[in-house]
Amino acid sequence: MRRADRSFILFICLIYVFAFSACKGENQSTERKSAEEGLTVALIDSTAHFKLYKEGTNYQLHIQNPFPASSKVEVIQLYTKEKPKQRADITHQIKVPIKRALISSTTHLGFLNGLQKAASVVGASQLNLYYDSLFQRNVRQGKIVSLGQQRFNQEQVLSLNADILFSFAVSAADYKQIERLREMGVKVVSIAEYMEGDPLSKAKWLLAFSAFFGSEAVEKAQQQIYSIKQDYQNLKELAQKAKYRPKVLLSLPWKGSWYVGAGDSFQAKFLADAAADYIWKDRAGKASIALDIEAVFEKGITADYWLNPGNVTSYQDLFEQDQRFENFKAVKQRQVFNIYKRVNAAGGNDYWESAVYQPQLVLADLIHLLHPTLLPEHELHYYQALKE
């Protein structure tokens, strides 16, 4: 999660909303075009919110629709030696590999850890929300400093003289803060992975991050994503062998409404791939849906499993929310599981950090929970049962 008091907002954003080759056995993109820098080759076929192109020894990263309802496209030129000629459509020109990075989300650290580039981080927002032990040690030693809480401390951002700030915007108002920093000379790149509607599409952002560290990092990222994709697809195929699709309820009431992922959200995709019967699978859209609590009670009371019930960690916590939960089938059968297995003393949750680039581990957890006979030896990585 990015901020303690925005955990629920980010949950909604996460449910808002490669086919690519990393080896010769995969179909490679045929998209090519002429450019001043020479032959341009698309390194991926498509994702909803970014494309990466190779231009000789340089790269060009396109961030598409960087926040909900936007039509903007950010174009980041990444060069290794001579700076290319500036064009009107270029948002930033950045020399790579970068050495000093600033981040504003736990998922950014997840991607950098996945690339073994987390040592580049010298500043971050909401320091207490990060799970990684090496990150927290660097914070204690003063190697990583705070960029602020609700908003960026602009003086701190400028004083760190970093090569790049990885940021994100959940609204046009948030994006204005990014634009103000750019006016001050800060090279800010919008990371829109939270809007991707598919777990594998989120994982592909490894490739976007890798481009800031040069061609060797890009090649390794391609190999990683190919491996992730293969593992995920194998698990998905295994799950489809299940003879029974258990009914699944998600989430927990919040301020008078029960927010659930629509049928095309990334969470619904996870459940479909795990051969589950998600009770809101027929609701169109990628965004979250605010439902009447009583309506969810009516359908959810018969669900076989209840997953991701907010920050609840015990059945007592659940009953304190609403005593009627005792009547839910999933509660009676003790089939309620949260994503709090990997949490540090400060509350940093690894699910919001590393799961973004490891969807195969999330899927394996779900299959083990929903179809125990298919993955009997699997040890839960992110999920755990509620405590009594």
Per-domain boundaries in the chain: 4-232, 240-385
Name the CATH superfamily, with its identifier, for domain 4-232. Nitrogenase molybdenum iron protein domain (3.40.50.1980)
Res. 370: pLDDT tops 90: yes
CA atoms in the 13 A half-sphere facing the CB of 191: 31
Convert the pLDDT of each residue in 347-363 to its tens digit.
999 999 999 999 999 99
56: left (phi over 0), alpha (psi -120 to 50) or beta: left
Convert the pLDDT of each residue in 104-139 to its tens digit.
999 999 999 999 999 999 999 999 999 999 999 999
pTM metric for this prediction: 0.89
Nearest-angstrom CA–CA distance, 28 and 45: 8
Amino acid at 79: Y
Nearest-angstrom CA–CA distance, 296 and 251: 10
Give Cα separations from 195 to 22, 48, 64, 135, 292 (angstroms). Answer: 24, 8, 11, 26, 25
Convert the pLDDT of each residue in 261-302 to its tens digit.
999 999 999 999 999 999 999 998 887 899 999 999 999 999
Res. 13: pLDDT tops 50: no
Residue ranges of alpha helices (H) inside 18-70 are none
Per the DSSP assignment, residues forming a β-bridge with 226 are none
Given 3.90.950.10, 1.20.1250.20, 3.40.50.1980, 3.40.50.150, which CATH number is that of 240-385? 3.40.50.1980
Nearest-angstrom CA–CA distance, 156 and 186: 12
Convert the pLDDT of each residue in 52-92 to its tens digit.
999 888 999 999 999 999 999 999 999 999 898 889 999 99
Indicate if 240-385 has the same CATH topology as 4-232: yes
Convert the pLDDT of each residue in 291-315 to its tens digit.
999 999 999 999 999 999 999 999 9
Predicted confidence band of residue 3 (pLDDT cuts 50, 70, 90) = very low
Nearest-angstrom CA–CA distance, 22 and 24: 7
